[in-house]
Structure 1
Amino acid sequence: MRRRELLLASLALLAVPWRAAAAAQPAVTMVLKSLKNPFFELMTAGARKHHAQHRAEYRLTLDGVPEESDVAGQVKIIETSIARRDQILIITPADSRAIIPALIKAIQSGMLVINLDNKLDDRALAGHGVNIPFVGPSNFNGARAVGDYVLRALKPRSKVGVIEGLPGSINAKARSDGYREAIANAGMSLAGIAWGDWERDKGRAAATALLRQTPDLAALLCGNDNMAIGAAQALSELKRDGKVLIGGYDNIPEMAALLAAKRIYATADQHPALQAEQAIRLGLESFNKRLTQSEMQSIVRTPVDLVKS
Structure 2
Amino acid sequence: MSLAARPGLAGGLPAHSFDRRGSSMRRRAFLLASLGLLAWPRLAAAATKPAVTLVLKSLKNPFFSVMTAGARRHHSQHSGDYQLTIDGVQGETDLAGQIKIVEACIALREQILLITPADSRAIIPALIKAVRSGLLVINLDNKLDDRALASHGVNIPFVGPSNFSGARAVGDYVLRALKPRSKVAIIEGLPGSINAKARSDGYREAIASANMTLTALAWGDWEREPGRAAALKLMKQTPDLAALLCGNDNMAIGAAQAVTELKRDGKVLIGGYDNIPEMAALLASKRIYATADQHPALQAEYAIRLGLESFNKRLTQSEMQSIVRTPVDLVKS
TM-score (norm 2): 0.86
Alignment equivalent of 2:105, drawn from 76, 81, 94? 81
Q: Which residue of 1 aligns with 2:320?
A: 296
4+ residue runs of structure 1 moved beyond 6 angstroms? none
Which whole-Å CA distance do the structure 2 matches of 1:237 and 1:62 have between them? 38
Which whole-Å CA distance do the structure 2 matches of 1:215 and 1:167 have between them? 26
Q: Which residue of 2 aligns with 1:57?
A: 81
Question: In the TM superposition, what are the counterparts of 1:143-292 in structure 2 within 5 Å?
Answer: 143-292=167-316
Query: Which 5+ residue runs of structure 2 have no aligned equivalent?
Result: 1-44
Which whole-Å CA distance do the structure 1 matches of 2:326 and 2:137 have between them? 18
Spell out, residue by residue over 1:53-95, the C-alpha distance to the aligned partner (whole angstroms, 9 max, x if none): 0000000010000000111000000001111110000000000
Q: Which residue of 2 aligns with 1:13?
A: none
Q: Which has the larger radius of gyration?
A: 1
Is the contact between residue 160 and residue 219 of structure 1 (CA under 8 Å) also seen in structure 2?
yes
2:242 alignment partner, SS class: strand
Matched to 2:254, the amino acid is: G
Tell me: CA distance 1:59–1:22, structure 2 relative to 1, closer, same or farther (3 Å). Answer: closer
Which whole-Å CA distance do the structure 2 matches of 1:294 and 1:84 have between them? 22
Q: Which residue of 1 aligns with 2:160?
A: 136
Which whole-Å CA distance do the structure 2 matches of 1:49 and 1:22 have between them? 22
1:28 alignment partner, SS class: strand
Q: Which residue of 2 aligns with 1:3?
A: none
Which whole-Å CA distance do the structure 2 matches of 1:194 and 1:262 have between them? 23
Is the contact between residue 22 and residue 288 of structure 1 (CA under 8 Å) also seen in structure 2?
no
Q: Which residue of 2 aligns with 1:26?
A: 50
Which whole-Å CA distance do the structure 1 matches of 2:47 and 2:131 have between them? 21
Which whole-Å CA distance do the structure 2 matches of 1:150 and 1:198 have between them? 20
Matched to 2:76, the amino acid is: A
1:242 alignment partner, SS class: coil
Which whole-Å CA distance do the structure 2 matches of 1:156 and 1:242 have between them? 17
Aligned residues: 289
Spell out, residue by residue over 1:268-289, the C-alpha distance to the aligned partner (whole angstroms, 9 max, x if none): 0000000000000000000000
2:245 alignment partner, SS class: strand
> Is 1:121 aligned with 2:127?
no
Q: In percent, how many aligned pairs have the same letter? A: 84
Matched to 1:232, the amino acid is: A
Residue 242 of structure 1, CA deviation: 1.0
Which whole-Å CA distance do the structure 2 matches of 1:55 and 1:229 have between them? 37
Matched to 2:331, the amino acid is: V
Matched to 2:208, the amino acid is: A
Q: Which residue of 2 aligns with 1:18?
A: none
Which whole-Å CA distance do the structure 1 matches of 2:254 and 2:263 have between them? 14
Alignment equivalent of 2:130, drawn from 106, 122, 127? 106
TM-score (norm 1): 0.93
2:191 alignment partner, SS class: coil
1:172 alignment partner, SS class: helix
Query: Which of the two has greater helix per residue?
Result: 1
1:278 alignment partner, SS class: helix
> Is 1:95 aligned with 2:115?
no
Which whole-Å CA distance do the structure 2 matches of 1:156 and 1:128 have between them? 46
Residue 169 of structure 1, CA deviation: 0.3
Spell out, residue by residue over 1:262-305, the C-alpha distance to the aligned partner (whole angstroms, 9 max, x if none): 00000000000000000000000000000000000000000000
Which whole-Å CA distance do the structure 1 matches of 2:60 and 2:82 have between them? 26
Which whole-Å CA distance do the structure 2 matches of 1:278 and 1:23 have between them? 23
Q: Which residue of 1 aligns with 2:331?
A: 307
Residue 122 of structure 1, CA deviation: 0.3
2:103 alignment partner, SS class: helix
Which whole-Å CA distance do the structure 2 matches of 1:69 and 1:22 have between them? 33
